[in-house]
């Protein structure tokens, strides 16, 4: 299936190659470079490129292109999903998935790739298993290794590979057993111009989906069997599960029953049907206009919290891609600081916390290129925010029970609401 993999950085250097079958020359990447050039923007490089003898399927993650070479028919999503899994694994192992990290750990990377694919077909992709096969680098271990010459390769077969729960490694032992979970809810929305202009109260049809996920962090010894129930599971409209969850249980009782992997993982992602959607926690008042035949425009944006929330909205950041004709911006903000990058034309306003008493406001003059026609489109405002201790869907964890082990774990829940792809059209 997957023949070879090339890692390419933004400047077009191939800094790692790995072949699972016979060697494919680097020159195959020329087709990729060609497409990259044509696409101008890195995001627009087509994920699938057809060349005379091969197919190139690529992803772009963290400023690295993962380009895989395919020779025969294969579901493209299969490859894409796998490449992302590779990137996730690097992230997991090295803390970041960057060129330097990969170069520094090239041997581990190679060993990982060797384990993850056999003859182009995925072999072991669960992080728990990989970590048993190949120990992730730590400072202590690297010191020990350099002195003793011992290896960071596990010498036993990970039992998970053989058992029915491949996502959990065997023999986990902690002195403190803890189970934390973060319920992170992200709101995706496109707020239309008309809605944004008139009021504070967005109508539902202008709001897209709300999307959420639960992240869990477990440090539990042995093989605990957990069951988690929600106060109001009916809220969940569409869910996707980590493989550890027993689907039948969910179907029949709306209870999540599972043997968790060790460590950090995403247990479920869910989506709330739009009927149940509550209000959007922030509103934006904006006034952006460009005058005809003059080289300036006005910019005035105010962000405010909705009254009914009772929690503070923090971490508010607004980014705006200004039209190309904008030369620079002369703004004053009542709160936070703003930057405008005249090259990429991106305005970033870091607001921070919103206090209802004094709404943050950013206004001023936009200078346009003289002679250029007035931009037709007003830029969209992309907004990020975070609200602690609130699950905006109203979802509540009811209880977490553990079976199969004797000890009592410490349990903790945290709710966060965040903006996902939250865009206000102007």
The distance of closest approach from Cβ of residue 81 to another protein in the complex, given in angstroms and rounded to an integer, is 5
Query: Of 219 and 425, which has the nearer Cβ to another protein?
Result: 425
Query: Does residue 208 sit in helix, strand or coil?
Result: coil
Q: d(Cα 409, Cα 83) in Å, to the nearest integer?
A: 35
Query: Of 74 and 309, which has the nearer Cβ to another protein?
Result: 74
Query: Of 159 and 328, which has the nearer Cβ to another protein?
Result: 159
Query: Of 103 and 298, which has the nearer Cβ to another protein?
Result: 103
The CA angle 374-377-381, to the nearest 5 degrees, is 125
The distance of closest approach from Cβ of residue 111 to another protein in the complex, given in angstroms and rounded to an integer, is 6
The CA angle 334-310-353, to the nearest 5 degrees, is 25
Query: Of 182 and 359, which has the nearer Cβ to another protein?
Result: 182
Q: How do the residues of the chain divide into helix, strand and coil, expressed in percent and rounded to 5?
A: 25, 40, 35
Q: Are strands 117-118 and 263-272 parallel, antiparallel or unpaired?
A: unpaired
The distance of closest approach from Cβ of residue 125 to another protein in the complex, given in angstroms and rounded to an integer, is 7
The distance of closest approach from Cβ of residue 48 to another protein in the complex, given in angstroms and rounded to an integer, is 5
Asked if 133 contacts 124 with a C-beta cutoff of 8 angstroms, the reply is: yes
Query: Of 152 and 312, which has the nearer Cβ to another protein?
Result: 152
Asked if 64 contacts 84 with a C-beta cutoff of 8 angstroms, the reply is: no
The distance of closest approach from Cβ of residue 332 to another protein in the complex, given in angstroms and rounded to an integer, is 26
The distance of closest approach from Cβ of residue 85 to another protein in the complex, given in angstroms and rounded to an integer, is 9
For residue 193, which of 319, 310, 97, 289 has the smallest C-alpha distance?
A: 289
- Burial level of 375, CB count in 10 A (0-12/13-18/19+)? middle
The distance of closest approach from Cβ of residue 164 to another protein in the complex, given in angstroms and rounded to an integer, is 5
Q: Are strands 313-321 and 381-388 parallel, antiparallel or unpaired?
A: antiparallel
For residue 233, which of 247, 258, 254 has the smallest C-alpha distance?
A: 254
CA distances from residue 365 to 290, 300, 303 in whole angstroms, order as listed: 10, 9, 18
The distance of closest approach from Cβ of residue 8 to another protein in the complex, given in angstroms and rounded to an integer, is 12
The distance of closest approach from Cβ of residue 279 to another protein in the complex, given in angstroms and rounded to an integer, is 17
Query: Of 328 and 423, which has the nearer Cβ to another protein?
Result: 423
The distance of closest approach from Cβ of residue 260 to another protein in the complex, given in angstroms and rounded to an integer, is 13
For residue 169, which of 117, 244, 246 has the smallest C-alpha distance?
A: 244
- Burial level of 214, CB count in 10 A (0-12/13-18/19+)? buried
Query: Of 1 and 366, which has the nearer Cβ to another protein?
Result: 1
Q: Are strands 282-290 and 2-9 parallel, antiparallel or unpaired?
A: unpaired
* Measured distance between the N- and C-terminal CA atoms of the chain, rounded to whole angstroms: 46
Query: Of 84 and 298, which has the nearer Cβ to another protein?
Result: 84
CA atoms within 13 A on the CB side of 296: 6
Query: Of 311 and 321, which has the nearer Cβ to another protein?
Result: 321
Number of CB atoms found within 10 A of residue 231's CB: 12
């Amino acid at each position: 299936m997957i023949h070879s993999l090339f890692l390419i950085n933004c400047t077009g250097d191939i800094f790692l190659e790995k072949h699972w079958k016979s060697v494919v020359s680097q020159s195959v990447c020329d087709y990729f470079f060609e497409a990259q050039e044509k696409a101008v923007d890195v995001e627009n490089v087509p994920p699938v490129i057809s060349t005379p003898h091969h197919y190139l399927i690529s992803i772009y993650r963290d400023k690295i292109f993962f380009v895989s070479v395919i020779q025969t028919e294969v579901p493209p999503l299969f490859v894409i999903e796998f490449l992302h899994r590779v990137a996730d694994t690097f992230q997991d192992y090295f803390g970041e998935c960057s060129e330097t990290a990969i170069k520094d750990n090239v041997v581990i990377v190679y060993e990982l790739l060797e384990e993850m694919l056999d003859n182009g077909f995925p072999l072991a992709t669960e992080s728990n298993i990989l970590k048993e096969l190949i120990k992730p680098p730590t400072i202590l271990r690297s010191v020990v290794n350099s002195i003793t010459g011992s290896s960071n390769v596990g010498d036993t077969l990970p039992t998970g590979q053989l058992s029915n729960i491949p996502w959990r490694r065997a023999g986990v032992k902690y002195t403190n057993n803890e189970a934390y979970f973060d319920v992170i809810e992200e709101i995706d929305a496109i707020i239309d111009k008309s809605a944004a202009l008139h009021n504070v109260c967005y109508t539902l049809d202008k709001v897209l989906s709300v999307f959420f996920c639960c992240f869990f962090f477990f440090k539990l010894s042995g093989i605990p069997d957990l069951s988690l129930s929600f106060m109001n599971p009916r809220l969940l409209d569409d869910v996707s599960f980590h493989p550890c969850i027993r689907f039948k249980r969910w179907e029949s009782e709306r209870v999540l029953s599972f043997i968790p992997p060790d460590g950090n993982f995403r247990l479920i992602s869910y989506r709330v049907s739009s009927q149940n959607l509550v209000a959007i926690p922030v509103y934006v008042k904006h006034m952006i206009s460009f005058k005809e035949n003059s080289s300036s425009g006005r910019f005035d944006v105010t962000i405010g919290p909705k009254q009914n929330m009772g929690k503070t909205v923090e971490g508010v950041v607004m980014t705006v891609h200004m039209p190309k004709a904008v030369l620079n911006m002369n703004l004053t903000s009542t709160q936070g600081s703003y930057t405008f990058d005249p090259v990429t034309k991106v305005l970033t306003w870091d607001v921070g916390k919103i206090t209802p008493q004094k709404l943050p406001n950013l206004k001023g003059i936009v200078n346009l290129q003289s002679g250029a026609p007035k931009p037709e489109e007003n830029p969209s405002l992309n907004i990020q925010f975070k609200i602690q201790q609130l699950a905006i869907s109203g979802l509540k964890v009811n209880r977490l029970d553990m079976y199969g082990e004797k000890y009592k774990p410490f349990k903790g829940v945290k709710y966060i609401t965040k903006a996902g792809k939250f865009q206000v059209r102007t």
